Structure 1
Amino acid sequence: MEKIIVTSALPYANGPIHIGHIAGAYLPADIYVRFQKLMKKDVIYICGSDEHGVPITINADKLGITPKEVVDKYHKNIKESFEKMNIGFDIFSRTTTEIHKKTSQKFFTELFENGYITTDIEKQLYCEDNKKFLPDRYIEGTCPHCGNLNARGDECPKCGKWLEAVELKNPRSNLCKSPLVIKETKHWYLSLDKLQAKLEEWINSKPWKENVKNFVLGWFKEGLQKRPITRDLNWGIPVPLSDEDAKGKVLYVWFDAPIGYLSNTIEWAEKSGNPEKWKDYWQNPETRLVHFIGKDNIPFHAIVWPAMLLGQKTKYILPSEIPANEHLSVEGEKISTSRGNAIWVDEFLEHFPSDYLRFYLASKAPENKDSDFSWKVFQEIINNELINVTANLFNRVLTFAYGNFDQKVPSLTESKLQDEDRKILAVIQKTLKEAKELYSTYRVRDVSRVILELARQGNQYFQEHEPWKLIKTDREKVGNIIHICIRLIEAVSILYYPIIPESASLMFEALDKKRKIQEIDLSSLVDIADASERPIEKPAPLFKKVEDKEIEARIKSLEERMKSVSEAETPKTEDSLIDIADFKKCVLKIGKVLEAEKVPKSSKLIKMQVKIGAEIRQIVGGLAPSYTPETLIGKKVAVVSNLKPAVLMGLKSEGMLLAAKMGDKLELLTMNGDIEDGATIS
């Protein structure tokens, strides 16, 4: 049996994931995997978080925690987001495991022994106070082009010029502000130029997507160059050499990240109880290796990663296909976390089911060109296509069958079949065949269209025959109409399963109580079997209409967040600045929440008893949209303790808790550690 390894680009464990990530590398892969599992193929879906690199160390420094604490937090957050989205990995691991470390070091060693790794001396900026070389993002100084005093190590934000850190005048550390000096340091490079001929021969044999192939051929035309694969950093996988110059150096994150596909498969095999099982996939020439990525990752997956595989003594399969998707924008603008217009997955799922997002992103998949997420278009697609077409057909047909044919699928009377009936049965067969072809060639947008069209034709067929009238005069003909409609709905549910798995499963199980949708063998399915006399369930509503007020709230939340980010970045005028004496008028203290309860007849207010040193105060705050009373008890919070008492809904409030607000989200400023309540914040 043909084996398939499917991977998605490893998400970077330095923040949560947004809907653009889902649209690019994860939903398309999950849809493909679910389809192949319905086709009864031996397919495994491998992923994990990418947990090394400079951005993580910078984030850790800003937060005053370790890089390990950063990646632990976001690995958990990302994993939970994928689970909520029903992204069905066979394993979701990480690049900080011991298995990954050993596998990455083995890759480096074999490339080194085969002569594909060379060394060179670089000039880099060094901090003598901290005794370490600094990456570009830790460096600032004077721009050599425009004189900006606060240029970064890789770019000047004022004139926009790209820079080498050593070009800066008066360079300094942006951590300790100490001046930096230029020192020489030895680094290791992957000699891509030595592997170009092999890569060209291999890539020319691949019928890849045009955007991928054109990108790669452009690199070949310019000629491949050696690329550095080590960094001076204290967070990462140590370079596995005894060379004195290798001390304090780690593998570059772009080098170790793709090895995660292999190391995570090895871990999957170990957890399955058969540690050698990974070889049946990675060392089997009949295995297809499919990498789902965003277009920014094309050079790494189509050139660098295959070169790393070709340079090994150990033989591995090479990528078979690289479905690289374009970008998703939000309301016509490129997604930018710094501008505040990212829609986070967790945020979205607080308001709508995962199948709504899956359905929208599948219908608007950025396969060959950039696509856009618009809240109003989202509402239109869910209401007009998912609900008014698909759910409407399901509800009308099953309600009619349940009430008029003894809760069973009516039998098909062949002698009563007419041309329009045979035409619909032929459309079902045609759609099954067409959808399988589209799924197998990664055309999610097109497959969404053909399934929806099948549901539309089912609605039209049902409506034109008006079975609610015809049943009074020709029950057998109506039985045929309902029978055919139910077979059509079964086809729709099976074909929609890779896209909207929860909803499709509910549809299918209402039609067939004896089977699960995952048991269907789509590979041999050319038609839907006769369903005569099969028991059916009374249909429950599958979906809830997306209301105008919900969309207005989401748009407002997005606009407020973008505005708050913009205001935070806007330089303050002299008039808007306050004196330290003004700030000191506020007395901030640590309080501990002893009791908390919701205020009757209020949707927002919670009444708390807060201990501030020897004093216990009653404080009332609008926390209910973000917290339950139980979750507040025991928290150490920041209290403005010298506010005049206020009365809220008849309750006296003797202070205010500090909280951060982003859109509709509210998060209290809380304290960790041994600090006692009553302590002053200064």
Structure 2
Amino acid sequence: MGKFNRYLITAALPYANGPVHIGHLAGCYIPADIYVRYLRAKKADVKFVCGTDEHGVPITIKAMKEGITPQDVVDKYHKIIGDSFAAMGISFDIFSRTSNKIHHETAAEFFLKMYNDGLFEEKESEQYYDPKANMFLADRYIIGTCPHCGNDKAYGDQCEKCGNSLSPDELINPHSALSDAVPVKKKTKHWYMPLQNYEPWLNEWLLEGHKEWKNNVYGQCKSWLDSGLHPRAMTRDSNWGIKVPLPDAEGKVLYVWFDAPIGYISATKELTENWADYWCKDDTKLVHFIGKDNIVFHCIIFPSMLKAHGGYVLPDNVPANEFLNLEGDKISTSRNWAVWVNDYICDFPDQQDVLRYVLTSTAPETKDNDFTWKDFQDRNNSELVANLGNFVNRTMVLMHKLCGGKVPNLHAHLVNDEDRAMLSEFAAAKERVENALESYKFREALSEIMALSSKGNQYMQRNEPWILAKAIEKLNKGEAHDKYTADDLEMLQQRIDICLHVCLQLTANLAILINPFLPFTAKKMLHMMKVVERMLDWENAGSAKLLSVGYSLREPELLFKKIEDEAIAAQLAKLAESKKAIDAAAAATAAALAPKEEKPAAPAKPEIQFDDFAKLDLRVGTILTAEKVEKADKLLKLLVDIGTEQRTVVSGIAAHFAPEDIIGKQVTLVANLAPRKMRGIESQGMILMAEDNGKLVFVNPAQAVKPGSGVS
């Protein structure tokens, strides 16, 4: 185990705003679980901590969409996520949550220590504020019309219709998602961590000290450091989160990426009173398992926080994976393009190890990879069923049929070179698997185990114990055999014994080696061999004496079952429904983005003289009331204040404006137009309008003026 006396393994805290999907499992949770199970098998002192991340804008946005409180959201998804992990055999020592009291206390204390040490910069900046709700707005809380596609429900950081990134300043007619008020800029104070001050240390600790890290991790960190770091705000204006523990910080909470990684510390505190041994002693190995989108936070920001605070160990490695795609397309929760773990568990009960196997054998360890249902089926049927499952089943069936259900003798005097080569392969395979696991190459480690199982199948096929059994049966009947005589009966049975003894010892080794990857399968194998879990200790791997001669074993049971085409067709049908919805949304976006056919400009009217124009009395008025005219779909009845009096005007604009939306609007009125009755209502003027691509807009002054002001 090297220089480390204990191990602390973390897996990224999932946001508690939705269930987890297979991309999450492949990204960090299955690799982390494999590594932890391996360490436990080696009897290492190891703690595996995780929990839900329950603060930040995604939580409050989800609550707003569902019409419930943020606490309702995190309570709901903490259980769904936790149940999914448990069902998949992800063996956390604790699955905590950042809404717990111990986490609030730990994060607040961490911030206060840094504050008291003078490690923050206090800065004022202008941010958007909701004057009705009396609170500052995150970009996601500002909604308006997208300047690119016209979507009137675009957010202040992105338009989800056309996909363009935005800032609140770019939105047309922005308003608060909370109160519908128009946001205003207002000064606010926050505390910034000057990350640029940690650049020299990060260059030495990370770039010089951890060149063994995965290329994707090291390269991303180097790119960030080469570009130069900048101060980063560690607080936010919000009512949901951990309150900033300062007297002048009303309405301020800790930035979610300051508070979330501290969740690893608070979870360890919750788990054990000896938490400081795992966080504060140099002989602890800290490893973060994450996806590539979290690299900068775990490799630059959190280590800088730990260094600044002082007294904590730093990560020894951050083996981040790339992304997993689904059927050639990026997994997307918003588009429902995903395989949700809770759905998989319902659709494929008792087949958790199949998914663990496929996601490990196709893990995106060095580049993005693709999950397809056809590949899932093929790997189950041709690798798990036809290789590992086939070898174990044949071994157990033949042992019961040809050896009385007991572990046969090895008969050392008849052991040949092929037998010895197979027996020696146990230890050689263990070493290869171990080296791969220590290097976080889980896909390679699994491949080595499956290769060992293949060698077992080949060994059995070459020795053909069933053929030897037929020869014994024939000779016992007194029938002649073209290869053996009655004098060979004992030898033939001994060769059967040797073959099946080797295969049974290999089965026991496979159970040990496969346990970190396929724990449910390993337990089935233990049950069949009638041995306790202690046999899964890593020190036992490589041994050719795991099962005692004469020991009775249970009847075989199939480790895996074939997945039929119908099951795969059902999954593809689900995705097809999602694809229809995605295509429909894409078509709507394309239509919105397509250039609109502009109407030809209205033909010019005959030339007039100035005296003709001077006859018009144009005045600015303010609409006081607006209502629809009965039995007239196109007409609105308006009451317009023109300073000296209030005029009733009937206008054909009902198809373009809702009455409630134009109250208070200023308009330009032809005040000396002869009155005209429309639908029995005398209209005392005409409002000037402009037409823009079929849409009517008011002709009004650029800024508000006094009603009755003349237009000249």
Q: CA 1:230–1:67 in structure 2 vs 1: closer, same or farther (change >3 Å)?
A: same
Structure 2 residue aligned with 1:498: 516
Gaps of 5+ in 1: 270-274, 574-682
Hey, what's the Cα distance between the residues in 2 that align with 1:147 and 1:501?
52
Write out per-residue CA displacement over residues 114-152 of structure 1, whole angstroms, 9 at most, x where no aligned residue: 222111112111111111111100112355678876543
- Secondary structure class of the residue paired with 1:362: helix
- Secondary structure class of the residue paired with 1:208: coil
Hey, what's the Cα distance between the residues in 1 that align with 2:118 and 2:277?
28
Hey, what's the Cα distance between the residues in 2 that align with 1:542 and 1:147?
56
Matched-pair contact (CA < 8 Å) for 2:509–2:541: no
Structure 2 residue aligned with 1:74: 77
Shift of 1:283: 1.1
After the TM superposition, which residues 141-160 of structure 1 pair with which residues of structure 2 at under 5 Å, given as runs? 141-142=144-145, 151-156=154-159
Write out per-residue CA displacement over residues 324-367 of structure 1, whole angstroms, 9 at most, x where no aligned residue: 00111111110012222111001111122111100111111111
Structure 2 residue aligned with 1:96: 99
After the TM superposition, which residues 576-595 of structure 1 pair with which residues of structure 2 at under 5 Å, given as runs? none
Matched-pair contact (CA < 8 Å) for 2:42–2:539: yes
Matched-pair contact (CA < 8 Å) for 1:407–1:535: yes
Hey, what's the Cα distance between the residues in 2 that align with 1:544 and 1:64?
44
After the TM superposition, which residues 218-367 of structure 1 pair with which residues of structure 2 at under 5 Å, given as runs? 218-243=223-248, 246-269=249-272, 275=273, 277-313=274-310, 315-352=311-348, 353-367=351-365
Hey, what's the Cα distance between the residues in 2 that align with 1:81 and 1:127?
39
Structure 1 residue aligned with 2:121: 118
User: Is residue 40 of structure 1 aligned with residue 40 of structure 2?
Assistant: no
Hey, what's the Cα distance between the residues in 2 that align with 1:257 and 1:82?
19
User: Is residue 183 of structure 1 aligned with residue 186 of structure 2?
Assistant: yes
- Secondary structure class of the residue paired with 2:288: strand
Shift of 1:528: 3.0
Hey, what's the Cα distance between the residues in 1 that align with 2:380 and 2:303?
41
After the TM superposition, which residues 616-655 of structure 1 pair with which residues of structure 2 at under 5 Å, given as runs? none
- Amino acid in the other structure paired with 1:81: S
Structure 2 residue aligned with 1:205: 209
- Amino acid in the other structure paired with 1:329: N
Shift of 1:219: 1.1
Structure 2 residue aligned with 1:457: 455
Hey, what's the Cα distance between the residues in 2 that align with 1:538 and 1:156?
60
Structure 1 residue aligned with 2:536: 520
Matched-pair contact (CA < 8 Å) for 1:375–1:554: yes
Hey, what's the Cα distance between the residues in 2 that align with 1:322 and 1:448?
20
Structure 1 residue aligned with 2:637: none
Deviates more, 1:195-204 or 1:356-365: 195-204
- Amino acid in the other structure paired with 1:3: R
Matched-pair contact (CA < 8 Å) for 2:128–2:186: yes
Structure 2 residue aligned with 1:424: 422
Structure 2 residue aligned with 1:404: 402
Matched-pair contact (CA < 8 Å) for 2:410–2:501: yes
- Amino acid in the other structure paired with 1:467: P
Hey, what's the Cα distance between the residues in 2 that align with 1:127 and 1:195?
36
Greater Rg by CA: 2
Structure 2 residue aligned with 1:489: 507
Matched-pair contact (CA < 8 Å) for 1:116–1:194: no
Hey, what's the Cα distance between the residues in 2 that align with 1:265 and 1:379?
39
Number of paired residues?
563
Structure 2 residue aligned with 1:535: 552
User: Is residue 508 of structure 1 aligned with residue 526 of structure 2?
Assistant: yes
Give me the CA root mean square deviation.
2.0
Q: CA 1:210–1:90 in structure 2 vs 1: closer, same or farther (change >3 Å)?
A: same
- Amino acid in the other structure paired with 1:494: I
Write out per-residue CA displacement over residues 533-563 of structure 1, whole angstroms, 9 at most, x where no aligned residue: 2221110122221001111111112211332
Q: CA 1:523–1:389 in structure 2 vs 1: closer, same or farther (change >3 Å)?
A: same
Q: TM-score of the superposition, structure 1-length normalised?
A: 0.80
Shift of 1:480: 0.5
- Secondary structure class of the residue paired with 1:258: helix
Write out per-residue CA displacement over residues 164-198 of structure 1, whole angstroms, 9 at most, x where no aligned residue: 32454542113332211111111111111112222
Gaps of 5+ in 2: 473-488, 592-712
Q: CA 1:506–1:181 in structure 2 vs 1: closer, same or farther (change >3 Å)?
A: same
Hey, what's the Cα distance between the residues in 1 that align with 2:559 and 2:150?
62
- Secondary structure class of the residue paired with 1:410: coil
- Amino acid in the other structure paired with 1:515: V
Matched-pair contact (CA < 8 Å) for 2:426–2:541: no
Deviates more, 1:65-74 or 1:169-178: 169-178
- Secondary structure class of the residue paired with 1:421: helix
- Amino acid in the other structure paired with 2:296: P
Hey, what's the Cα distance between the residues in 2 that align with 1:475 and 1:93?
57
- Amino acid in the other structure paired with 1:493: A
- Secondary structure class of the residue paired with 1:433: helix
Hey, what's the Cα distance between the residues in 2 that align with 1:144 and 1:403?
76
Shift of 1:162: 3.3
Structure 2 residue aligned with 1:414: 412
